[in-house]
Homo-oligomer: A and B are copies of this chain.
Amino acid sequence: MLNIRYEKTTAPKELPAADNPLKFGTIFTDHMFLMDYEEGKGWHDARIVPYGPISLEPSAMVFHYGQEMFEGLKAYKTEDGRTLLFRPNKNAERANNSNKRLCIPTIPEEDFAQAVKAMVKMDERWIPTKPGTSLYIRPFVIATDPFLGVRPSNRYLFAVILSPVGAYYPEGLNPVKIWIEDEYVRAIKGGIGEAKTGGNYVASLASQVKAHEEGYSQVLWLDGKERKYIEEVGAMNIFFKINGKVLTPELNGSILPGVTRDSVISLCKHWNVPVEERRISVEELYEAGKDGSLEEVFGTGTAAVISPVGHLRFEDHVLMVGDGGIGEFSQKIYDTITGIQLGKVEDTLGWTVEVV
């Protein structure tokens, strides 16, 4: 149990206006959680202080050697005024899996959860209430040792910041166009692909820029070894519904184990919808498209929850999914998960945690 020190802001900011579309990740709340780590001393000095700049030596290792880990989850306001988090224990667990791969000291899961809850409680007035909005929570760790040289840092900063965000698709679910990448590779087995860390995201930018220039909104990554098997899409996991069966690539060491991915698989099992985690090749996908058995394609992630895919392109081959609209199953998944998150659908799987 952390003994959190509080320093309240003396200049609370004005909340965004009700008609503010809350562009993702641009507005931050009044406070931030900080906690330091020092070799031999462990994690210490947990504190909630006014949101503001972080001061680091130019030699801080995070600027040079990429030792950084982040998480993303959301807090929701229910109609009856309660504040809910969605599966925060999964983020605490994944944070430590990432930390281990990156040689960052782990954070006790209950401390991670406490920090998140304390921050949400502190800045609760910032949780937006319009349909589709939420308070995005960004816990992250950076290496702060002022040292040039390749080794794990001896000092770290763990921070939690909050940002009120609008609906990812303001006009509702809208099928996206996906570019299947055949030049760049995001990650490989044995690398850092299953950790949530900056190195994977910077690796994806050149491909994203290229896809945008071609009129595609997201990139679908193939495995780095054979360049045949589907891994994940942009910053999301990917699902296919083929012949009544729900398929998603298995966690093979280079795929991020998404919390929404896990939730979709659990819901399928709960509903007795056949679901498989396994290798899926581009060829299998295109064949299912050709023979008419490909019913739906959708991405899953915390930001958008569900992102239906209506159109894919691999080299010169375009694949249209269904009639280009939202699939019935995608919509059902979206309605169920967002319903649970907002306390409108019964939480039979025990996924929500109330912040009191």
Contact = CB atoms under 8 A, between A and B. Distances in A.
Contact of A197 (B66, B152, B224): B66
A53 B56 contact: yes
A114 to B, nearest CB: 19
B68 A63 contact: yes
A290 interface: no
Nearest to A68: B63
A150 B303 CA distance: 11
A244 interface: no
Interface residue range, chain A: 35 or more
A151 B206 CA distance: 9
Contacts of A57: 28, 53-54
Interface in A40-63: 51, 53-59, 62-63
Interface stretch (A140-148, A267-275, A320-328): A140-148
Nearest to A207: B190
A101 interface: yes
Contact of A68 (B64, B138, B187): B64
A163 interface: yes
B67 A148 contact: no
A314 interface: no
A206 B194 CA distance: 14
Given A199-B198, A199-B199, A62 B63 contact: yes
Contact of A103 (B64, B65, B209, B234): B209
A26 B204 CA distance: 33
A192 B235 CA distance: 17
Interface stretch (A3-11, A88-96, A178-186, A258-266): A178-186
A197 B231 CA distance: 23
A159 interface: yes
Nearest to A226: B225
A148 B67 CA distance: 18
Contacts of A183: 190
Contacts of A76: none
A64 B70 contact: yes
A297 B63 CA distance: 32
A198 B60 CA distance: 12
A58 B32 CA distance: 9
A202 interface: yes
A203 interface: yes
A169 interface: no
Contacts of A24: 148-149
Contacts of A147: 25-26
12 contacts: A26-B146, A28-B146, A53-B55, A53-B57, A58-B159, A59-B161, A138-B148, A185-B190, A189-B224, A192-B199, A199-B200, A224-B224
By Cβ-Cβ distance, the 6 closest A-B pairs, closest first, are A199-B199, A66-B198, A25-B148, A185-B190, A66-B202, A65-B201
